[in-house]
Structure 1
Amino acid sequence: GIVGVLQEACTHAGVPAVSLWAAVPHYVSQPPNPKATLALLNRLEDLIGLRIPLGELPEDARAWQLGVDQLASEDSEVAEYVQTLEEARDTAE
Structure 2
Amino acid sequence: MLIGCTRRAAADFSFIMAVPVMIIVCVYDLLRVIHLLELNDIIMFAIGTLVSYIVGYITVKVFLWYLNRSSLSSFGYYRIIVAILAIIYLYL
The TM-score with structure 1 as length reference comes to: 0.30
Q: Which protein has greater RCO, CA pairs closer than 8 Å, 6+ apart?
A: 2
